[in-house]
Structure 1
Amino acid sequence: MASILPKGKRQSTAKRTSKGKRNLLLLPGLFVLSLLLVTTVVPAVAQSPISIVSGEVRQEAKPTPNPSQEGNRRQEIRGFEGSREEVTQQPLTPGQILQQGREFYEAGQFFEAANLWQQAVQAYKNQGTILNQAQALNYLSLAYQDLGQGEQAQQAIATSLKLLQSREKLEPRGVAILAQALNTQGSLQLTQGKTETALATWKQAEATYELAGNETGKLGSRINQAQALQTLGQYRRANELLNKLVEELQTQPDSVLKADGLRSLGIALQTVGDLVKSKAILEQSLAISQQLNASADTSATLLGIGNIARDIQRYDVAWRFYQEAANLAQTPITTLQAQLNQLSLLAQTQQWQTANSLMPQIESNLSQLSPSRASIYARVNLAESLMQQKNGDAEIGRTRGTRETRGTRETRRQGGTVDIPNYPLSIIHYPLSIIHSQFPIPNSQKIAQSLATAVQQARQIKDPRAEAYALTQLGKLYEQTQQWQDAQSLTEQALQISQSIEAADITARAAWQLGRILEQRGDLTGAIAAFQGAFAHLQSLRSDLVAVSPDVQFNFKESVEPVYRELVNLLLQPPLTKGQMEDTSQANIKQAREVIEALQLAELDNFFRDACLDTQPVVLDEIDTQAAVIYPIILHDSFRGNSASRLEVVLSLPNQPLRHYATQLPEEEIEDILQQFYSSLYPGYSRDQRLRLAEEIYDWLIRPAEADLANSGIQTLVFVPDGFLRNLPIAALYDGEQYIVEKYSVALSPGLQLFPQGLEREELQALTAGLTEARQGFAELPAVEDEVKEIASEVDAQVLLNQEFTRTAFQKEINGKPFPVVHLATHGQFSSNPQETFLLTWDERISVKDFDLLFEKRRLGILKPIDLLVLSACQTAAGDKRATLGLAGFALRSGARSTMASLWSVHDESTAALMSEFYRQLTQTNRAITKAEALRQAQLTLLSDSRYDHPYFWASFVLVGNWL
């Protein structure tokens, strides 16, 4: 099997290497769908470069399987066969050829458009009209980019720019064409991974549009610059630029162009996670469109607002917006776009009967469309929904990896066949299996025929990207019907095509699919190689994975995270044969650890909806030779029909080979035991039950490593927890005789790649702030005043209490002096939803996404980073299994090297006692002590006090990040 790893540094933005269609007319908005997060929803995300032609702004669609790329048309494009007949019946002028090419391009028929534009280029060259030739070459470069022909695209745009720059002086039209060409060049540079060069080119395009007096062109170029800044990881600058553009647009009179510009900006703000501002901007765009009676624009904006409503789980509101968008749609493709969003929403909310009744309407609209990339993507997405139906009630569900479709291995053959014209495999007709299990796939022949039509249409319009996408879905169908040879052949074809055009998003999905198929066929070596390719491409697409779906958390869990987990699962499988076991095992365990850490980072990217957490990996042995790192991860065994789950633990000891061990348990049982343990930590529950549960979990995580830990002189256990293990108070685990905290210091880390080594100990200065009075519906914390006073008695502290603790005052203090310690004794909540993760000040709530704004000088490097952030009165959101993502979020947003916080709100008098002892331990001058050990000693102080010896009082406090 050929390598499916990304090619060198270009893959840092590999998802952009095969761009989606760039609209040459002024299309109202952008609605794209991530191929990796498969669903028929059409999120409005302005994330691809904007193409500006004839002074109009068009938001270019990302390279994703989305019918909406045709959706927001001002006119319906039809009759292409007739147009081709006219070309052969009578000669056309070069201008007519150019326009026909635009029509084919708008219809998603890029090959036909490229052929016509080649003719136009030659005709203009023969005429000696340089400006027209340059414009045609600009268009040709766009078509080549869509076809994945990078070299031809580069040659076309280079020739266009050379012609324009050869003229001593450009008239106004020439300046406008030059600006367009620079815009196209920037788009190509971005697909090639030359992000900084693209940014510079788009700045040049902006200046050129200014010379041409084209304000709309300037807007598009600046939105493109914001995308480049996002790709470079400069999210704050990107957001600042977008906000500035919003302010500038507000000064313009109402017009269709203003409505389009506001919509593009609203979508871009949604991309970076600013949903409140995005909604406000989209609503303003909607009001202008409605005032101007621009139905197509109104429909596009309604979809965008519907996606935001869905993003915040207001599904009833989202449905109404989608329905209104469908009612106002002007063409079958725009109607289809809204209906696909409705279908996806119905599937998500399990309204199966309504979803099933919507299918005929979608199929009817689909049948009215001429072959194009948009219609092919729509056909494939519809097939995906049909493939998720369950027998009986025609249940339509979202993709859940592949585990649901592997329930049984008993199949029977059906006589139905699928004929794919011009299929390059030796087998043309594929009998389809109908699975007799809990999850059959009804209408398999119908689905296969629809996908075969999609493949045929892709070949007809010579669109390799659409062909690869359709083949991948067809391969998935054969995978689900357990026809492994056919599934493998189809998937390998898709993979070969996607790699040839460097479409990293399709490659990642096809590689994942191939890995699953090879695993089922018993080829574990091939499966691992395929999963490694999928993993590598997901890593290269990191900046694109985080904000492309209106239901990011769900899609990440269902379509991205499984790739990481399944690769770890295969890497940690015991060898089937003896020989070279030790070397192979070590190599696999090391990569498994890397993948686990990459998953931790990907989850934080997903939490923030940006990929701004770029740090250099830290070698553990160079940090602390007395610390062991424990990586627990829950895995599912799917090899050869085994559907059991297990809790796998990777153990890293300083200067020793990695090892791993596992406990075979159903995931539901693991979760149930953990939930019982959480409940038992509250006073009033049986002590015997609590200790029994604490010891059982200890047996999973620690018992197999006891001897190694003792022999290695380990003093600190660093856990990189997975899933709902994140909320686990490790210190309260029990070995049968004593708690873990009585033997080891304990720390948590979202991954060793995230936190740099701590600063050397210096005389502590702390900024302490807190609330003692009830505020904003939260109860009073009367002992906070004593807590703050106790801290001030141990360290040099600046205190902000109650009315003094406003957001403004806190920001002024934190940026006015380089406090190494910041201690906040106030209410707060950690949640896996960043909108529900906050800290309370006297006058407002500070969200986790705004937390870094308070540390501006530290973020810019003017002041040193915080060494320790303490959040002493917070709690995790009730029932949220991944709530400590919010805790990690505060740690990262503050830039703190270490963060200490409480998992649940604790009796505030005991908290004051613990904090006082913690700071006393840190300030001891007679011996060096780590932060983890200082916390341990403080916890032991409470454990030895009969008033506070219950784990409820001391086990809540955890140290996240660097433990030194």
Structure 2
Amino acid sequence: MTQRYQKLHRQRKLIKFLFLVTLSICFMFGQVGFAQTPNVNMLVEQGIKDYQAGNFFDAIKNWQTALNQYKSNPASAAVVHENLARAYEQVGENQLAINSLSTAMRDYQAAEDTQQVGRMKTELAQVYSTLGQPRKAIALLCGQLFDKSKTLEEISQEKECTPDSAVKIAMKYRDQRGEAAALGILGEVYRSIGNYDQAIKTLNAGQKVYPEYETLILNSLGNAYKSRAQLREIQADSAKQARIVDNEKKLTQQSLEDYRQAYKYFRDSAKLARNQKQNSVQIRGLLNLIQLGSQTKQIKIINDAEFNQAIQESLQIIETLPDSSAKIYGAIELAYLQPEPQGTSPFTYCPTRLTLADTQVLNLLNTSVASSQKIKDNRLLSFSNGALGHFWECRQKTETALKYTQSAIIAADYKLSTRDSLYLWEWQAGRILDQQKDKEEEAIAYYQRAFDILESIRSEILTAERSVQFDFRDVVKPLYSTLAQSRLDLLETGAIANERRANELSAVVTTIDALKIAELQNYFGNDCILSALSPKQVEELLRDNSVAFKNTAFLSSIILKDRIGILLQLPNQATQFQWIEDPNQQGNNKRVSSATLRQKIAEFRAGLVKGKEEINYDPTIAAQLYDWIIRPFAQEITPEKVKTLVFIQDGFLRSVPMAALYDGKKYLVENYAIATTPSLRLTAPKTRDRSIQKALILGLTTPATIDGKNFDGLSAVPSEVDAIKSLFPNHIDLIDHNFIPEKFQQTLNKTIYPVVHIASHAQFGVIPEDTFIVAGNNQKLTINELEKSLQSLNTKSDSVELLALTACETAVGDERSTLGLAGVAMQVGVKSAIASLWSVTDTSTSELVKTFYTNYRNTGMSIAQALQQAQIKMINAKQLPASEGVNIAYNNPAYWAPMIVIGNWL
């Protein structure tokens, strides 16, 4: 099967041979019917010849000159603008292409040529789609759907296109070619945003309209089915992690069926294109077939004989193709074909093995460079030179690798028109320089530029739906981690003067923070959390002298390939950094490896989860982790100076309840109030008046079955709910059959509840689709429904302040699942959340929650302190009088440690 988190769709895919590439040729070229002079007509025709010969800049020059003669002739000017737009696209000038297409549209409207207006909308939609702006593309193709309150999925499910859309215009004028083109592009856009069902439906409609486009639509259908197969494969894996056996089997079978359907469409597209002698379309079908075969080797969607035949046929076609994007991208894709792909971007790692021999690979890459030089397209120059540079990088021929990589950078940097590849080559140059002695600072400069570029465009290339994600694990995390590690390594060598050390650590903090925000965005798959993102960097926030940061210390972790670092930040003080080390070891063995810490963390968590089975908890591992993580900073964070510790964790460290670390005498929570946040820039610490608050209380007492998985009844929930009701007289409670998504939404619509308490099972899955709260009547409240319900309140001054989830279940062993836990409050716009890292007995949770809310109503106590005191009460259970009614077994951290504060700790 494909990798667990293989990217579902390469929005910025190396091969950009999309539907409209051939479509444009079918539409081309409009002939000027009202030429004022034979000379001007010759300019237009010469431009067409230049374009067809690949001389795009000459074509642009001729058409721009001709335009000067058509100022009073909109029909003729429209044709020239239309052709200019295509030339601009070829040289990577997308904004100029948009301007030309928009002008052509206005000119066709002035000339009352509505059919051409529709066609221009289709071409303009393709440009917007390529630029990662699907809302604009859908608006042009199917209607003006700019309602920001609707998700892209909701927009894509609109049943009827508006009369002024490209689809409806083509239908009105019986323009079959235009209608098929509009439906084909619309299907591609739906695929790009992850709505594969709608993509397939739209492409099927397009296939019936205009047979001449069948090869293209078959290819698009293949891609849609392949993308849906990959999604279902990921969903099946998530169901497996969540132990939902029936769903796992069903999704695995559906994935297999979709892969087989994709194979059929790719095969049919290539066969039909071969019969019609459409080499450029045939190569696309063959390459898609080859990639499918490579990615599904274990389930044998394509047999070896057909796979090898497709490769040989593709190699032959590449040789016969004229210099073009199809030839160049096809050569690069064949060159980097791998028997077992390791990731989704071939330029971010050195493949273990390529399918073709090195001599064939080098010939293909040299061919791509030579062809791109003839065409003079900056995007093609960028990818061909970059790909060849990467070939030599992986063979450690640094001088040759750097030469081609720098050529790629120059091409990509031209007017910043190819920034979505520029960061790749800046990063690549940094890696190449890292292979050379005394080039560390120069390498860091390249890494920093790559980081800056990726940060500036990440929101554009991060699609706005959860099922389609910019590849975090292959691109963002490795680049950001490499930049941080390079700076830290340089600091360690002593090569940086003391006066620069603070700036270097500040840059590390910025990089790590950006990494954590990027990971949270990637998990949830949209950018709505950006509305809460502070424009200030972390160190600027820490210079704030308000009560928010008083007596508070911040500990950030960064997990690198072979080690883990901890950053300590205190308000108005220099950042401190330590690698995690074992004080009981000496010399080179002192530093704790990432693998060692991961194993120790797993043992620690497992010991806590199972701790309720033990009469006396053994804190040995808790003490060891304290020595590794906390003790190096003990002098700076004494309880006399610091009252609250806020942890900003990375990776598997997010699953650790830091409250249970042990200093040999006390648990960490006995000395400090503790909170966690994905990023300080996503947290707005602010005190609130908690004396008169309304509460919405939701609970489930009965057993439930969701997606074939059974959840036990929670017998202590009535007691928990009664206690909260007594503390919040102004409340509404929805229990059991009243706790269903519809009533939850209706209740929130009537009034605002600053406190929302949910006493039910909550599952945080490997993917957000498997993240939900168990509701009554065997229903579930999905993270999407919770998000939509609460986000509608964000603009109101008295929006939700605290969300409590008291019976959570995370996917054990998967660090992504804890993103759902750490990010849910941020995602839905809640200021603070308390939640459990794993499910514990409902009786102990009920006891903890009652004490927490009693403390919470004390306005002189922060949220973190309210939880701290509730946990300390349980730690002291054996010393408490019987009248307190606290079970003495609850002093075990298994019962109190998993509950954490997320977000605003005040």
Q: TM-score normalised by the shorter chain: which range applies?
A: 0.7 to 0.9
Residue of structure 1 in register with 2:321 after alignment: 369
Residue of structure 2 in register with 1:624 after alignment: 549
The one-character-per-residue Cα deviations of 1:240-276 (angstroms, maximum 9, x if unpaired) are 5444465659998998866765554454445445x4x
Change (3 A) 1:489 1:890: same
| 1:878 CA drift (Å) | 3.0
| 1:626 CA drift (Å) | 1.1
TM value normalised by structure 1? 0.76
Q: In structure 1, which of residues 738, 743, 767 is the aligned counterpart of residue 696 of structure 2? A: 767
Identify unmatched segments of 5+ residues in structure 2.
Answer: 30-36, 234-251, 274-278, 581-590, 878-887
Query: Is 1:66 the counterpart of 2:9 in the alignment?
Result: no
Query: Is 1:509 the counterpart of 2:438 in the alignment?
Result: no
Q: In structure 2, which of residues 284, 290, 297 is the aligned counterpart of residue 337 of structure 1? A: 284
Change (3 A) 1:789 1:594: same
Query: Is 1:587 the counterpart of 2:503 in the alignment?
Result: yes
> Counterpart of 1:309 in structure 2: which amino acid?
A
Residue of structure 2 in register with 1:477 after alignment: 391
The one-character-per-residue Cα deviations of 1:793-850 (angstroms, maximum 9, x if unpaired) are 1223221101111112111222322211100111211124111111122253222233
Q: 2: distance between equivalents of 1:694 and 1:857?
A: 42
Q: 2: distance between equivalents of 1:287 and 1:399?
A: 31
Aligned residues of 1:633 and 1:649 also touching (Cα < 8 A):
yes
Q: In structure 2, which of residues 873, 877, 880 is the aligned counterpart of residue 941 of structure 1? A: 873
Residue of structure 1 in register with 2:376 after alignment: 462
Aligned residues of 2:659 and 2:897 also touching (Cα < 8 A):
yes
Aligned counterparts, 1:559-570, within 5 A: 559-570=475-486
> Counterpart of 1:699 in structure 2: which amino acid?
D
Change (3 A) 1:529 1:894: same
> Counterpart of 1:784 in structure 2: which amino acid?
V
The one-character-per-residue Cα deviations of 1:643-694 (angstroms, maximum 9, x if unpaired) are xx11111110122100100023333222222212221111377789952222
Q: In structure 2, which of residues 787, 799, 804 is the aligned counterpart of residue 865 of structure 1? A: 799
Query: Is 1:957 the counterpart of 2:899 in the alignment?
Result: yes
Aligned counterparts, 1:922-941, within 5 A: 922-924=856-858, 928-941=860-873
Aligned residues of 1:764 and 1:923 also touching (Cα < 8 A):
no
| 1:68 CA drift (Å) | 2.8
Query: Is 1:847 the counterpart of 2:762 in the alignment?
Result: no
Q: 1: distance between equivalents of 2:222 and 2:49?
A: 26
Query: Is 1:657 the counterpart of 2:657 in the alignment?
Result: no
Residue of structure 2 in register with 1:727 after alignment: 655
Aligned residues of 1:726 and 1:882 also touching (Cα < 8 A):
no
Q: 1: distance between equivalents of 2:144 and 2:209?
A: 31
Residue of structure 1 in register with 2:628 after alignment: 700
| 1:379 CA drift (Å) | 1.4
Change (3 A) 1:150 1:309: closer
Aligned residues of 1:631 and 1:649 also touching (Cα < 8 A):
yes
Aligned residues of 1:468 and 1:497 also touching (Cα < 8 A):
yes
Aligned residues of 2:50 and 2:59 also touching (Cα < 8 A):
no
> Counterpart of 1:735 in structure 2: which amino acid?
D
Aligned counterparts, 1:16-165, within 5 A: 43=9, 64-69=13-18, 73=22, 111-113=54-56, 115-116=58-59, 118-119=61-62, 130-149=74-93, 164=107
Query: Is 1:800 the counterpart of 2:734 in the alignment?
Result: yes
Q: 1: distance between equivalents of 2:758 and 2:22?
A: 53
Q: In structure 1, which of residues 478, 481, 489 is the aligned counterpart of residue 403 of structure 2? A: 489
Q: Is the partner of 1:541 in helix, strand or coil?
A: helix
Change (3 A) 1:490 1:792: same
Residue of structure 2 in register with 1:646 after alignment: 563
| 1:498 CA drift (Å) | 0.8
Aligned counterparts, 1:681-760, within 5 A: 681=608, 682-683=610-611, 690-710=618-638, 713-760=641-688
Change (3 A) 1:610 1:342: farther
Q: 2: distance between equivalents of 1:670 and 1:701?
A: 10
> Counterpart of 1:533 in structure 2: which amino acid?
R
Q: 2: distance between equivalents of 1:79 and 1:136?
A: 11
| 1:185 CA drift (Å) | 8.7
Residue of structure 2 in register with 1:633 after alignment: 558
Aligned residues of 2:699 and 2:736 also touching (Cα < 8 A):
yes
Q: Which has the higher contact order (CA 8 A, sep 6+)?
A: 1
Q: 2: distance between equivalents of 1:370 and 1:650?
A: 55
> Counterpart of 1:487 in structure 2: which amino acid?
A
The CA RMSD measured in Å over matched residues stands at 4.2
Aligned residues of 1:646 and 1:662 also touching (Cα < 8 A):
yes
Q: Is the partner of 2:413 in helix, strand or coil?
A: helix
| 1:547 CA drift (Å) | 3.0
Residue of structure 2 in register with 1:85 after alignment: none
The one-character-per-residue Cα deviations of 1:872-899 (angstroms, maximum 9, x if unpaired) are 1111123322211112342123210111
Q: In structure 2, which of residues 242, 257, 264 is the aligned counterpart of residue 324 of structure 1? A: 264
Q: Is the partner of 2:704 in helix, strand or coil?
A: coil
Q: Is the partner of 2:267 in helix, strand or coil?
A: helix
Q: 1: distance between equivalents of 2:479 and 2:297?
A: 25
> Counterpart of 1:337 in structure 2: which amino acid?
R
The one-character-per-residue Cα deviations of 1:80-113 (angstroms, maximum 9, x if unpaired) are 9xxxxxxxxxx999889868977986x8x7x435
Aligned residues of 1:68 and 1:333 also touching (Cα < 8 A):
no
> Counterpart of 2:822 in structure 1: which amino acid?
A
| 1:561 CA drift (Å) | 1.2
Query: How many equivalent residue pairs?
Result: 815
> Counterpart of 2:87 in structure 1: which amino acid?
A
> Counterpart of 2:284 in structure 1: which amino acid?
Q
Identify unmatched segments of 5+ residues in structure 1.
Answer: 1-36, 46-61, 81-90, 203-217, 387-393, 407-437, 637-644
Q: Is the partner of 2:475 in helix, strand or coil?
A: helix
Aligned residues of 2:659 and 2:674 also touching (Cα < 8 A):
yes
Once structures 1 and 2 are overlaid, which stretch shifts more, 690-699 or 259-268?
A: 259-268
> Counterpart of 1:561 in structure 2: which amino acid?
K
Q: 1: distance between equivalents of 2:830 and 2:862?
A: 16
Q: Is the partner of 1:756 in helix, strand or coil?
A: coil
Residue of structure 2 in register with 1:398 after alignment: 343
Q: 2: distance between equivalents of 1:916 and 1:677?
A: 27
Aligned counterparts, 1:98-497, within 5 A: 111-113=54-56, 115-116=58-59, 118-119=61-62, 130-149=74-93, 164=107, 170-173=110-113, 221=140, 234=148, 236=150, 241-244=155-158, 246=160, 261=182, 264-273=185-194, 275=195, 278-283=196-201, 285-286=203-204, 289=207, 295-296=214-215, 297-313=217-233, 315-329=255-269, 330-331=272-273, 332-349=279-296, 351=298, 354=304, 359-386=311-338, 395-398=340-343, 405=350, 443-497=357-411
Q: 2: distance between equivalents of 1:78 and 1:41?
A: 33
Change (3 A) 1:789 1:156: closer
Aligned residues of 2:675 and 2:864 also touching (Cα < 8 A):
yes
| 1:904 CA drift (Å) | 1.0
Q: In structure 1, which of residues 790, 796, 809 is the aligned counterpart of residue 723 of structure 2? A: 790
Q: 2: distance between equivalents of 1:400 and 1:665?
A: 31
Residue of structure 1 in register with 2:488 after alignment: 572
Q: 1: distance between equivalents of 2:493 and 2:10?
A: 51
Change (3 A) 1:368 1:94: farther
Change (3 A) 1:616 1:685: same
| 1:922 CA drift (Å) | 0.9
Change (3 A) 1:736 1:186: same
Aligned residues of 1:350 and 1:396 also touching (Cα < 8 A):
no
| 1:403 CA drift (Å) | 9.2
Residue of structure 2 in register with 1:24 after alignment: none
> Counterpart of 1:112 in structure 2: which amino acid?
N
Aligned residues of 1:695 and 1:734 also touching (Cα < 8 A):
yes
TM value normalised by structure 2? 0.80
Q: Is the partner of 2:55 in helix, strand or coil?
A: helix
